[in-house]
Structures are given as C-alpha cells and as structure tokens.
Amino acid sequence: MTTKNETLHGIQARIEELQKTIAEKEKQIKARTRNLKEEIAEELSPEEIVKKHPFLAAGTTFTAGLIITKSLGGRKKNIPSAKASETTLQPEPPASRRKGVMYAIGLDMFHSLKDIGFSYLQGYLENRFKKQGGPGRE
C-alpha cells in the first residue's frame, strides 16, 4: 500500500513537471510569434513590396497622384477677355484662394509620389541589372 505522503509527492512531482512543460511551450510560442512578426514586417515593408512589384508600385503611385490632384480640383485657366480688362481687378474670394492652394499641395504631392516611385523603380532595375551581370558580360 502507498501512503498519503507518497501519493502527494507523486502528484506534486507531476504538477512541477507539467509546469516546466508549460513554461517551455510558452517560450517556444513566444519565439515563434516574434519570428512571425518579424517576417510579416519584412514582407509588408514598402521596400520589399516595391522590390517584388516595381511596375505595380510605380503605377499605383502615379494613379494615386492623379487621383489626389483631380480630387483637389484642377486649376482652370482664365483667359482675360476685352470685357474683363475694362472692369477693375477685384481680389479673389477666399474660397477660390483655398482651392488654388489645395491644388498646389495636390500637385506637389503628385510630383513627390512620382519621384519616390521612380527612384524605387530605378534602384530596383539597377540592382536587377547588376545581378544579371550587365551588358557584354558572359
């Protein structure tokens, strides 16, 4: 027959063993989660996306710039007529000035996005060109 103390020691030993196993599994899960997080961050980084899909990135950048510029409203050219020159010049209303400023901001954003997209594309193509050995190399 086993005594109560032997049974309690066996149960406690089993509990300690299970706690150690749980702690080890927890460490493994945390390490895997950290690795997965790093891999996802690398995959979703803008540089990696542009490297994998350079033409799509350039097209998306160009399209986004066009949409922003159009949504902020393009500047309409006013051709002065003879009748307009006869009237006195009046200052632009504030709403019109704001629209012009928004257009200028949109245009600047478009040019910036275009420059960024093309610089990424250029870098990507240069790297691909270097990896292939360049022209005339065999």
Cα gap 100→94, rounded to integer Å: 10
Q: Are residues 66 and 32 in the same domain?
A: no
CA 65 to chain centre: 15
pLDDT digit string (tens) for 80-101? 555 555 555 555 556 666 677 7
**What pLDDT shows up at residue 128?**
79
Give the residue numbers spanning the domain of 24.
9-37
The Cα angle at residue 91 between residues 89 and 96, in degrees rounded to 5: 125
Report residues of the chain scoring pLDDT below 70. Answer: 1-2, 73-98, 133-138
Q: Are residues 103 and 129 in the same domain?
A: yes
**What pLDDT shows up at residue 123?**
81
**What pLDDT shows up at residue 138?**
42
Using alpha carbons, select from 44, 40, 22 the residue that is nearest to residue 32. 40
Residue type, 77: K
> From the CA atom positions of the chain, what is the Rg in Å?
33
**Is 83 a member of any domain?**
no
Write down how long the chain is: 138
The total number of structural domains in the chain stands at: 2
Tokens of 7: 């049974």
**What pLDDT shows up at residue 51?**
81
Residue type, 132: Q
**What pLDDT shows up at residue 87?**
54
Cα gap 20→37, rounded to integer Å: 26
Is the pTM of the predicted complex or chain greater than 0.75? Answer: no
Contact 116, 61 (CB under 8 A): yes
